Amino acid sequence: MGNIQIMDEWLSNKIAAGEVVERPASVVKELVENAIDAGSTSIDVFLLEAGLTSIQVIDNGSGMDEEDALMSFSRHATSKIHQEHDLFRIRTLGFRGEALASIASVSKMTLITSNGESGTHLELEGGHILTHKPGPLRKGTDLTVSQLFFNTPARLKYMKTIQTELGHTIDLMNRLALGNPQIAFRLLHNGQQLLQTNGRGDVQQVLAAIYGVHNAKKMVSFQGESHDYQISGFVTLPEVTRASKNYMSLFVNGRWVKHYLVQKAIVDAFHTYLPIERYPIVVLFIKGDPYLTDVNVHPAKHQIRLSKEPELLKLIEETIRETIRNIIRVPQMEKKEKIVKPATEQLNIWKPAPKMDVEKMNAIVEKLYDVQTIQENNCEQIVEPKPISTVREESWQPTPQMEAEIKDEVTIVAHSEVLEEAPTKEPFPELEVVGQIHGTYIVAQMEDGFYLIDQHAAQERIKYEFFREKVGQVNPHERQALLLPLTFHYAADEALILREHRHELEAVGVFLEEFGQSSFVVREHPSWFPQGEEQEIIEDLIEQVLTTKKADIKKLREAAAIMMSCKKSIKANHYLTKEQMETLLRDLRNADNPFTCPHGRPVLIHFTSYEVEKMFKRVM
C-alpha cells in the first residue's frame, strides 16, 4: 500500500518537456505555431545566444484575457480541441495543450498578452507563477523564454554549439515562412536580422528571401489534383541540385512535416534527370480533408500519417515529372542582352581611363554605343552582359525598397520572363559536327555558339529509351535460344526468393528454369540483350531481387534498361568518324529526353558566343 501515487503536475510537466522541448528550435516552433493559430499577421522572433539565453516571440494575434492567460500554463490546456470529433479534423498547428506548460517547467518565462480589452503580465520560473499583474492593452502576445534548461543541467550540457542550434532555428523559421507567406516574419539573432518576409502572400518573394534570387529564378511552379488531394508548389530546374534532402519542404494543410515516402516520390519524379545522390530544392503544398490525415503521431508533430497514400504519391510523382519534362533544356549560361559596339573600340576598351565624373562617363558611353552610327559603319554585334547582382543565399534579405525589384526578378510563374518558353519542351538544336576531343566529346556548332556532347552519355540515353521500350513489352517472338544453357547456383534461402519472384524476372526477360534444389538454368533470352553481356545482365538482375528481397516490375525494368544501355554504349577514348557522329546526334535529336543520360548527368553543354568572346577579352 502507498507505493503508487499521483505524480505532481509540475513534475509531469517537466517529464513531458523532455519530448516537447528538445532544443531552442523546439521552443521557437511551439511559440510561433501558437502565434500563427492566433491569427497573427506579423511575428517577430528575437534570440540571444541561439535561444539558450533568451527567446522572445512577439505577435499581433488575438491575445488572451486574464483567465485564459492563467489557464494556458496548465497541463492539457488548449483552445483548439473542444470535443472528441475535433480530434479527427485538426486544422490548427498546435492542439495537444502541452507546449506552454512544458516550456515553462524548464525555463524562466514572461508573458505579456492582451485581447484588446484587458492586459495581463505574468512571470514564471520552473512552471510556478511568481508575478501576476495587469499589462498593456496592445493586442497580441509578447512571450519571453530565458535561461532555458536552467533546472535540467543534463539537457543543457548536451546542447550543441551556438551555430548548430541557431542553424536549426533558421531552418525552422524558413519553413514556417514558406508555409505561411501571408504572415510577415522577422528573425533576429543578437540584434542581427537573419530573415524577413513581407507577409503579402507571395511565395515567390519568400523563396527569394530564403534561397536567393538566382536560385528562385530557376524554380518553376506545378500543381495537380485528384479526388482527395490538391498539390502545388515550386521545384528547381534539374541543373540546380543539392547534396541533401533537407531542401525539400513538405506542407500538409499548412503544417510542415517530414514524410519519407513523399520525399521518395519527389526523387522518383526526377529519375534520369538528376545525378545519383543529388536532390532538387522543392516546396510542396498538399491540401486535403483533415479527416484523411493523422497528425497525432508524436509530440513534436513532425510526423504524419496519410490516408489513400499510394494515390497521393502517384499524383506527386506524375505531376512533378510532367513539369520537369516540359522545362528540361540544355545546360547553358544565362542569356545576355546584345549591344552593338564599334569594332575599332573592341581592343581599346580595356585601357585604363582617367578619372572623371559620372555625367562625363555616361556621355562617353552613350556616344560609344551609338547604334545608328555603328549600323551605318556595318560593324558586327558584340554581346554585352546585363548587370548581375550577387546575393548571398544564406543571409540575403529583401529591403522594402527592393521588394518591387524582387517581384520582377523572381521569374517563377508562367507570366515570368524566364519561363515564357516553359509550356513547350525545348527542341533539340540542329547541330553541325565540327570534330571530337580526346575520343570522348563531340564538338558541334550553331550560330549562337558551340556545344560539347558526351558521346557515351548521348548513346546511353538513346539505348536506354530503346531498351526501356523493349523491356516494357517482352515479346515471345523476340527470344533467342542458347546452344549452351547458362547455369546459376545459389544458396537454399536465395533459391526460395527467386522461386517466389520468378514471374517478375520473366517480365524483364530472365527465364529461370529449376535445375536441382537450388540451381537454375536459362535456355533462352530476349534477342535484344547486348551481345556478349547476356550472362552478366542476368546475374545483375537476379542480384537486385536477392538484395531487396522483393521485386517491383517497374523498377526491375528501369534497372534492366539502364544497365543494358550503359554496357552497350560507346566508351571514352573511342574515336568516331564524322558520319558516326552525325548519326549519333540525329538519333539523340529523336530521343524523348536528349538532355540527360539515365543517371541524370548532362549529355551536352552549351557555350554561347558571348562566353567565348569574353574569355578572349573581346567584350567586357
Instruction: Please compute the mean of the pLDDT values over residues 135-143 and round it to a whole number.
Output: 92
Tens digits of residue pLDDT in 462-491: 888 888 777 766 666 678 888 888 888 888
* Predicted structure pTM score: 0.64
Instruction: Please compute the mean of the pLDDT values over residues 103-127 and round it to a whole number.
Output: 90
Given a cut of 70, is residue 566 above it in pLDDT? yes
Domains and CATH numbers, the chain: 9-196 (3.30.565.10), 203-327 (3.30.230.10), 338-383 (no CATH), 428-608 (3.30.1370.100)
Residue closest to 57 by CA, chosen among 30, 19, 93: 30
pLDDT of residue 350: 41
28-42, 148-162, 289-303, range with the lowest pLDDT: 289-303
Given a cut of 70, is residue 349 above it in pLDDT? no
Q: Amino acid identity, residue 31?
A: L
Instruction: Please compute the mean of the pLDDT values over residues 456-461 and round it to a whole number.
Output: 88
Beta partners for residue 128, in sequence order: 125
Given a cut of 60, is residue 416 above it in pLDDT? no
Confidence band for 493, pLDDT divided at 50, 70 and 90: confident
Tens digits of residue pLDDT in 157-172: 778 788 889 989 999 9
Instruction: Please compute the mean of the pLDDT values over residues 399-408 and round it to a whole number.
Output: 48
Given a cut of 90, is residue 598 above it in pLDDT? no
- The whole-angstrom separation of Cα 269 and Cα 264 is 9
Instruction: Please compute the mean of the pLDDT values over residues 258-286 and round it to a whole number.
Output: 89
pLDDT above 70 as % of the chain: 74
Which whole-number Å values give the CA distances from 336 to 385, 388, 457, 609, 611, in the listed order? Answer: 5, 10, 29, 10, 10
Which of the pair, 263 or 541, is modelled with greater confidence?
Answer: 263
Q: Which residues contact 167 (CB under 8 A, 6 or more apart)?
A: none
Dihedral over Cα of 17, 127, 163, 36: its sign: positive
Residue closest to 592 by CA, chosen among 561, 563, 546, 549: 561
Instruction: Please compute the mean of the pLDDT values over residues 334-340 and round it to a whole number.
Output: 45
Instruction: Please compute the mean of the pLDDT values over residues 229-238 and round it to a whole number.
Output: 92
Q: DSSP code of 518?
A: S
Given a cut of 90, is residue 408 above it in pLDDT? no
pLDDT above 90 as % of the chain: 23
Instruction: Please compute the mean of the pLDDT values over residues 11-17 and round it to a whole number.
Output: 59
- The whole-angstrom separation of Cα 176 and Cα 170 is 10
DSSP per-residue string spanning 86-121: GGGS--SS--SS-HHHHHHHTSEEEEEEE-SS-EEE
Strand order in the sheet with 513-514: 479-489, 519-526, 513-514
130-144, 167-181, 354-368, range with the lowest pLDDT: 354-368
**Cβ(177)–Cβ(398) below 8 Å:** no
Take residue 446 and report the three cell numbers written for it. 550553331
Given a cut of 60, is residue 117 above it in pLDDT? yes
Take residue 91 and report the three cell numbers written for it. 486544422
Confidence band for 410, pLDDT divided at 50, 70 and 90: very low
Q: For the chain, what is the mean pLDDT?
A: 77
